[in-house]
Amino acid sequence: MPGVLQQVPIDIIRVFSDVWRLVINAAPLRAVFLEPKPPNPHIFSLYPLPRLGSAILGTILRDRGWEVRIFVEEVAPIDFYRVLQADLVGISSITPTAPRAYVLADEIRKAGIPVVLGGSHVTWLPEEGLAHADMVVRGEGEIPMAVLAAHFEGCGVGLDQVPGLSWRDEGRIVHNPLPEEPVDLNEVPAPDLTLIEGFVRDGSFSGAVIPIQTTRGCPHNCAFCSVTGMFGRKLRRRNPEIILEELEKYRDSGVVVFFYDDNFTADRAHARSICGMILDRGLDLKWSAQVRLEIAQDEELLALMRRAGCRTLFIGFESVNPLALAESGKSQSAVEMFEAARSIRRAGIATHGMFILGFDSDGAADLEATLRFAKRSPIATAQFLLLTPFPGTRLSERLEDQGRILTRDWDLYDTHHVVFSPKLLTPRQIQKKQVRSHWRFYSWPRSLLNLARLKLPRAGIYIYARRINAKWKRQNRFYLKALKAFSGKGPFLLNPCSGHRFEDIRLAAEKARERIQKRTVCGTSKP
């Protein structure tokens, strides 16, 4: 890792550390990584997908001789016996999973085990993370983790030498500078997914969705996205040879690959050479990827992608409201969006459309128009997400300045709860619209139509989406009731003009829950 070599002679430290551990005949150090589960179900719960962070960092430590185990809660439950035997516990968090990450960190720290937090939430709020953990890694974790490992291996590396680390030095919080250079992706080991508990079943990956990254960074800078802040605007590519080596591991294994790039075709030549190599080597793989709309104009590349195994493309359409599109920094029209979905379907690839509700220019009619578009266009599956001001984004800064953030209950930051004050609608109106959009997109007639057309996997997704929607509504019964009260329409008599903020909604929801539970105990109401 060239960036590190300029700051710490890592290779020398590593050799020294290996020899030292041999001399003292030390047992290997043990690390456990945790990826906490989100508080609410979402459409992807059908396919438990780990993020790559823990797997990559775990592989780096394993290559240094550590014993590593990774628990991704959506894949398998955490084995706390293993956790309590660890010399270091790393916890990966995004905003909606931060509260659970903190609960886990508090408990593990109580047992005297050092905890380091990382990921796209604590990167922006390291002080918050340090209230629960010993250390926080900001930004990319590869370089910091390698140096931190050397620290734990006892070879004289101080915490002050770990780039990107936030930590406490005699009670004072210190934020070490970030690595001088972003990590060279060709130096990062391919993540060993067998380190993830429960990901391999009976020695096989069959049926799993395999995450692979071919690029990092995004040249665009959408106001609501935290990727550029984390990974930079410069696109970094992995050498196609290395990617193919990774793909070869899954030859004939019946897996589906999901390319985790923010835009798989950001560099079309790169995407083309990966597809070409998949075909040249006769790899019979099925895969999906996230792309931007423009790719649909390149029919040749679409056809090549299809031949190389592409089955679904995930596209951020965001909205059909031109003002909302301008707000999100996307220059695309509804006609172009429709045409794009049609070209992709013509190429034999399905489109998963991602829409965002809640831009400042979004009125009820705009949200309705977006839903209608989604239903009429050749989009196979869709998600309607609420605009969410994730820490570290321009959107979050703007709404904060305007005093429009309603809550910092991070578990509500899952794009399925309204967490800020929309401009043209009430929180309840927009929340209702989001829930209804899913019901109407995944309606029974549309589900049955897929069944009738023998599109069985798609029909399965529709039925699953309906179940998830129903589960979400059940789990959020009190939240929805309180939201109603907040809008002056429910029995709780909260006056929305009296400066009540979102915390009141939570409080009202809690009270309602207690009241209903009491009634249930007395037998006056059904549970």
Is residue 265 near ligand B12 by the rule CB under 6 A? Answer: no
Locate the DSSP E strands across 333-386.
Answer: 350-357, 381-386
Of 390 and 486, nearer to ligand B12 (C-beta) is: 390
Q: Are the beta carbons of 195 and 62 closer than 8 angstroms?
A: yes
- For the CB of residue 96, give the shortest distance to ligand B12 in the complex, in Å: 5
Segment lying near ligand B12 (by CB under 6 A), choices 14-22, 87-95, 237-245, 400-408: 87-95
For ligand B12, give the closer residue by CB, 59 or 450.
Answer: 59
Task: Catalogue the long-range contacts made by 8-12 (C-beta closer than 8 Å, 24 or more residues apart).
Answer: 8/147, 8/150, 8/157, 8/161, 10/146, 10/147, 10/150
Token pair for 268: 């079309």
Nearer Cβ to ligand B12 (473/513)? 473
Q: In what order do the strands lie in the sheet with 172-175?
A: 67-72, 30-35, 88-92, 115-118, 135-137, 165-169, 172-175
| Residue number, nearest CB to ligand B12 | 118
- We find the least distance from the C-beta atom of residue 231 to ligand B12, in angstroms, to be 6
Residues 377-396 that bind ligand B12 (CB under 6 A): 385, 390
Q: How far apart, in whole angstroms, are the C-alpha atoms of residue 476 and residue 435?
A: 11
**Shorter beta-carbon distance to ligand B12: residue 50 or 427:** 50
Can you tell me which of 59, 66, 69, 97 binds ligand B12, judged by CB under 6 A?
97
- Residue 263 makes contact with ligand B12 by CB under 6 A: no
- Which of 289, 194, 272, 284 minimizes the C-alpha distance to 248? 284
Nearest distance in Å: CB 317, ligand B12: 13
Q: Which stretch binds ligand B12 (CB under 6 A): 112-120, 170-178, 198-206, 370-378?
A: 112-120
The reply on whether position 116 binds ligand B12 by CB under 6 A is yes
Q: How many helices (H) and strands (E) does the chain have?
A: 20, 15
Reduced to 3 states (helix: H, G, I; strand: E, B; else coil), residue 236 is: strand
Q: Smallest distance, Å, CB 178 to ligand B12?
A: 12
* Closest CB to ligand B12 among residues 107, 339: 107
Residue 42 binding ligand B12, by CB under 6 A = yes
Count CB atoms within 10 A of the CB of residue 131: 10
Q: Candidates 5-13, 18-26, 223-231, 277-285: pick the segment binding ligand B12 (CB under 6 A).
A: 223-231
Find the shortest distance in angstroms from Cβ 191 to ligand B12: 8
Choose between 291 and 485: whose C-beta lies nearer to ligand B12.
291
Q: Tell me if 381 sits within 8 A of 463, measured CB to CB.
A: no
Q: Which of 289, 310, 205, 209 is nearest to 252 (CA)?
A: 205
180 vs 165: CA distance, rounded Å: 13
Is 193 a binder of ligand B12 (CB under 6 A)?
Answer: no
Find, among 519, 339, 509, the residue nearest to 417 by Cα.
509
The residue (of 214 and 321) whose beta carbon lies closer to ligand B12 is: 214
- Shortest spacing between CB 417 and ligand B12, in angstroms: 10
Provide the mask over 47-66, with x wherever binding to ligand B12 is found by CB under 6 A and - wherever it is not: --xxxxxx-xx---------
Strands 350-357 and 286-291: unpaired
- 121 binds ligand B12, rule: CB under 6 A: yes
Q: 458 is written with which tokens?
A: 């798609």
Binding mask 125-164 for ligand B12 (x = CB under 6 A): ------------x--xxx--x-------------------
**C-alpha span between 153 and 8 (Å, rounded):** 15
Nearest distance, CB of residue 168 and ligand B12, angstroms? 16
> Which CB atom, from 278 or from 382, has the smaller least distance to ligand B12?
382
| Binding residue for ligand B12, selected from 29, 94, 210, 430, defined by CB under 6 A | 94
Answer whether 93's CB lies under 8 Å from 51's CB: no
Which residue in 166, 213, 407, 431 binds ligand B12 (CB under 6 A)? 213
Structure tokens, 363: 């009125």
| CB within 8 Å of 239: residues ≥ 6 apart | 186
If DSSP codes are grouped into helix, strand and coil, which group holds residue 255?
Answer: coil
The residues, any chain, with a CB within 8 Å of residue 299's CB and separated by 6 or more, are: 343, 347
- Judge contact between 31 and 61, C-beta under 8 A: yes
DSSP type of residue 519:
H
CA 285 from centroid of its chain's CA atoms: 24
Is 335 in contact with 312 (CB distance < 8 Å)?
Answer: no
Rounded CA-CA distance 13/73 in Å is 34
Q: Where are the alpha helices (DSSP H) in 92-239?
A: 98-110, 126-130, 142-152, 227-231
Q: Which stretch binds ligand B12 (CB under 6 A): 94-102, 199-207, 452-460, 509-517?
A: 94-102
Q: How far is the CB of 468 from ligand B12 (least distance, A)?
A: 12
Question: Can residue 464 be called a binding residue for ligand B12 (CB under 6 A)?
Answer: no
Q: How far is the CB of 233 from ligand B12 (least distance, A)?
A: 13
Q: How many chain residues are in contact with ligand B12, going by CB under 6 A? A: 38
User: Any idea how long the chain is?
Assistant: 527
The verdict on 414 binding ligand B12 (CB under 6 A) reads yes
To the nearest whole angstrom, how small is the minimum distance from the Cβ of residue 198 to ligand B12?
14
CA atoms within 13 A on the CB side of 406: 23
Of 250 and 492, CB closest to ligand B12: 250
Least distance between ligand B12 and beta carbon 257 (Å)? 12
The answer to whether residue 330 forms part of the interface with ligand B12 (CB under 6 A) is: no
CB of 279 to ligand B12, least distance (A): 25
The answer to whether residue 118 forms part of the interface with ligand B12 (CB under 6 A) is yes
- Residues in contact with ligand B12 by the rule CB under 6 A: 38, 42, 44, 49-54, 56-57, 90-92, 94-97, 116, 118-121, 137, 140-142, 145, 213, 225-227, 260, 262, 385, 390, 414-415
